[in-house]
Each structure stands twice: as structure tokens, then as C-alpha cells.
Amino acid sequence: MRINPRYLLTILAIVLVASCRSPTAEPGEAALAQFHPVAAPPASTLLLRPGDRLAICGDSITEQKMYSRLIEDYLTMCVPQLGVSVRQYGWGGERTGGFRARMTNDCLRFQPTLATTCYGMNDHEYRPYEERIGRTYRDESRAVVQAFKAHGARVVLGSPGCVGKVPRWTRFTNSTVLDLNLNLCTLRNIALEVAQQEQVAFADVFWPMLTADAAARKRFGPDFAVAGRDGVHPDWAGHGIMAYAFLKALGLRGDLATFTVDLRRNTLQTSEGHTVLDTRPGAFVIRSTRYPFCVCAPAGAAAAGYPECGPDDLGKDSSLRAGLSLVPFDAELNRFLLVAKNTRAARYRVTWGSETRSFTAAQLRRGINLAAEFRLNPFSAPFARVDGAVAAKQAFETKQVKQIFHGAEGKSDFAGAVARTEAERASLVEAIKAAFQPVTHTLAIAPE
């Protein structure tokens, strides 16, 4: 017996909605128990390949150039051996179909080998779910994935995030936060379905943000807004969680450094990307070509709003450190480990740069994560310089596409506009390379 495909789609939509909402849900209640997202398999292998050209695509949340900047920072400084280049293609107000209509002109011409997408926020129309919304989102998402695949690009299909409140611009005044998030949860499930059918990777942005938002309000106070002050556009905390979701979906593992010191022999072994330049009693001078991910910058070094370490307040959603504390970022993506063997004292002082911390011998034998313990460290200022160059390049990429390609210059001489802007962008790429330099730092360990 043949079954009408439209009937199957309708049944699937009903199942997806049911998977997101309990039948006993009360209107206006946004408790996590009301949501039942379909389980997504974790990334099993590294999706990135040496020399990849990554396109980061999305709506106004991507155009904020925050999670995209964090991703490029990580790929540039934490895994430089992969040699990945990045472009961001954020466009405010865009739906999945809007990107599909412009992707050949704006994105595919630059021959990406890998792409991430983050759509659904505008697709959900800021209203309760309707089958029409899901059907359109499914069809457009599949079309975008297939277009990338047809041009030889691998894809990470990202889900939308969550909302923290009903935004002021919605036309549906009776909608609740629960209504909108259940809609977004359904689109999240549809994105997972499309990813599995098309055999591409999936980044779950919705569930980590929603659960982190609930945890943050308990830990930091009811005013903490993972999804942003307007309910939709996150600050650094929310963007940190988004970056975490995409970096995990790319299959990154986070082994950035391991320094193994033998305290009896006064020797230090290092992992790839790090070289011992000098050994002194209880201290080692190291040259590193891989950085830890730094969650804040020294005073005066931050560019384009990046959080500064001094005034960084865990109680504010502008704190990247706060956002990343809500997910296992350091444990899974930012391991810069110091391991000590042959300890004799009960406790030791570890000095890294200008900061000193005290640890037990047992902690050192297990290994301490320097990146987590020393938020201000020898890499903080160099990291900020590279981040500033990344921010400048990504800002130009928005101007290149939105103002020039789609402006008067692009309409009169598109080929000339591409050539001119690519030359300007190339200089910004070189500025990133010039800023990213090896760091020489000293690690000292002394008994208390």
C-alpha cells in the first residue's frame, strides 16, 4: 500500500511537536520538564580537515559577530596546525530561505569546504508552532544542505537557540516564552531530522542554551539572560555557549597542551606545539605555538567589546567566563594541563606569568587545568591581539557582503567589487597571521 508523502509529513510534524511538549504542560510555564528534545548523537570524529575553508552562516545572531568570532579565535590559536580559514555570513532578520536565495552569490563563490548554519529564530515567526512553519523550515534547511553538498562542502546544520522572553517586535501578543521555545524546540528536532537524512553533522544550540539559562538564573540571579536582554540576541555568555555547541559538533577534543614535570629529576615533557627552551631549579621556560582559549583580556587589551579580566563579573550575562562555566567548555575543549610526578611536599605553589596558585600534591598528580585556574595568564595579551584582528576581519566581511555586494558598487560592477574587497580582506587575514606569534612563558613549581 502506498502512503501519501504529505500524510507522512503531517504525522512526523505531530510526533516532533509531541517530543517537545508534555501533554500536561501549563500555559506560561517554561520549566525544563516541559521539553523533550530528540536525543542527538555526539560527534564521533574530527570533522575538520587541514586547510578547510569554513563558512559560518546565520541570521542577526550570527551578524553580532560574537560566537563566530569565538569559533575563529579557537581555530586560529588553539588548533593552528589545522590551518582553517573562516568567513562569517550573518544577515539580520534572515530566514533559512533567505540564505538559500543568496548563498550562491555571497558564499559559494568563495568555495567553502565546510559550513555551519544557525537559522530558525526568524523562521519560527515568534509565535506558537504550526505545521506550516515546520514544513517550510524543513524544506529550506534541506535545500541549503544539498546546495552545500553539491558544491563539495561538508555541513554542520545548527539548530536555533532559545528565547529568554517574548521580544517586543512579535505581532502575537498572546504568545508566551513557553510557546516560542516549544516552537524552537520543534525546529531543533526538524534540523536534527534533516541532518540525519542528509548525513551531515548537527549542532544542538537550543538545548544547551535553554538548560544553561535555567541554571544561570539559579546560580547568578533571576536577571541573568543567556538569550540576551531583548530575549533573542545573546551577550558574551550566550554566545560562548553557542560557540561551545559548534566546536563540539566539529569534533574537536580540546587537548591543547600537557606539561608533565618530574619534580625529583627537575625535567619537563611537553606535548605537540610546545618546546622547553630552558630548565632552571623548579622552573621551566616554554615556547608555545598553541594557545589556551582565554575568556578575558587584560585591562586595555580587549578589542570590540571582548570581556576584560578586571571588571569581569560572573553575575552578568556579558561575562564570557560565566557562560562557559555553564557548559563543560574547559573540561572538553580547553585542556592546558600541568601534571606533576614524584611529589614530596603536601602542597605546592604554581606560578604562571604574574599569577600564583596553591595546589595539593594529589591535585598536581591528577593534573590541573592551567587554562581554568589562571584566567589571566601569559597568553591573555597575545590572545587579545589576535582576537582584535579577527574582529576587524569579521566586521569587514559583513560590510563586504551587505553593503558592497548588495549595494550600488556590486550592482554596477560585481566582478570589480569582489576583486577590490577581496584584496582588502586579504590584508586583514595577513594581520591575523602577523598577530598570532609563539608565546614564551615560564612555569614554576615550588613546595610550600
In this prediction, residue 310 has a pLDDT band, given cuts at 50, 70 and 90, of confident
Closest CA to 138 of 92, 104, 100, 166: 100
Cell triple for 273: 606545539
Provide the phi-psi class of 199: left if phi over 0, else alpha when psi is between -120 and 50, else beta: left
In this prediction, residue 165 has a pLDDT band, given cuts at 50, 70 and 90, of very high
Closest CA to 428 of 382, 399, 394: 394
* Residue 226 near residue 323, CB atoms below 8 Å: yes
- Average of per-residue pLDDT values in the chain: 93
pLDDT in tens, 348-368: 999 999 999 999 999 999 999
* Residue 414 near residue 423, CB atoms below 8 Å: no
Give the global pTM.
0.93
pLDDT in tens, 72-111: 999 999 999 999 999 999 999 999 999 999 999 999 999 9
DSSP string of 237-288?
Answer: HHHHHHHHHHHHHTT---EEEEEEEETTTTEEEE-TTEEEEEEETTEEEEEE
pLDDT for position 24: 35
Highest mean pLDDT among 4-8, 111-115, 221-225: 111-115
What separation in angstroms does the CA of 150 have from each of 136, 191, 198, 217, 232? 21, 19, 12, 44, 32
Q: Say yes or no to pLDDT of 22 above 90.
A: no
Q: Say yes or no to pLDDT of 372 above 70.
A: yes
Closest CA to 268 of 446, 447, 443: 443
In this prediction, residue 390 has a pLDDT band, given cuts at 50, 70 and 90, of very high
pLDDT for position 15: 45
Cell triple for 163: 528565547
Closest CA to 141 of 85, 98, 107: 98
Q: Say yes or no to pLDDT of 10 above 80.
A: no
Q: Where are the alpha helices (DSSP H) in 334-413?
A: 361-366, 370-373, 380-398, 408-412
Q: Which value, in Å, is the radius of gyration of the alpha carbons in the chain?
A: 23
What torsion do the CA atoms of 66, 70, 75, 76 make, to the nearest 10 degrees? 90
Give the class (CATH, top level) of 49-249. alpha beta
pLDDT for position 20: 72
DSSP 114: E
Could you tell me how many residues make up the chain? 448
pLDDT for position 21: 55
Provide the phi-psi class of 42: left if phi over 0, else alpha when psi is between -120 and 50, else beta: beta
Quick count: other Cβ atoms within 10 Å of Cβ 357? 13
Cα–Cα distance for residue pair 157/201, rounded to 1 Å: 6
Provide the phi-psi class of 88: left if phi over 0, else alpha when psi is between -120 and 50, else beta: beta
Q: Say yes or no to pLDDT of 8 above 50.
A: no
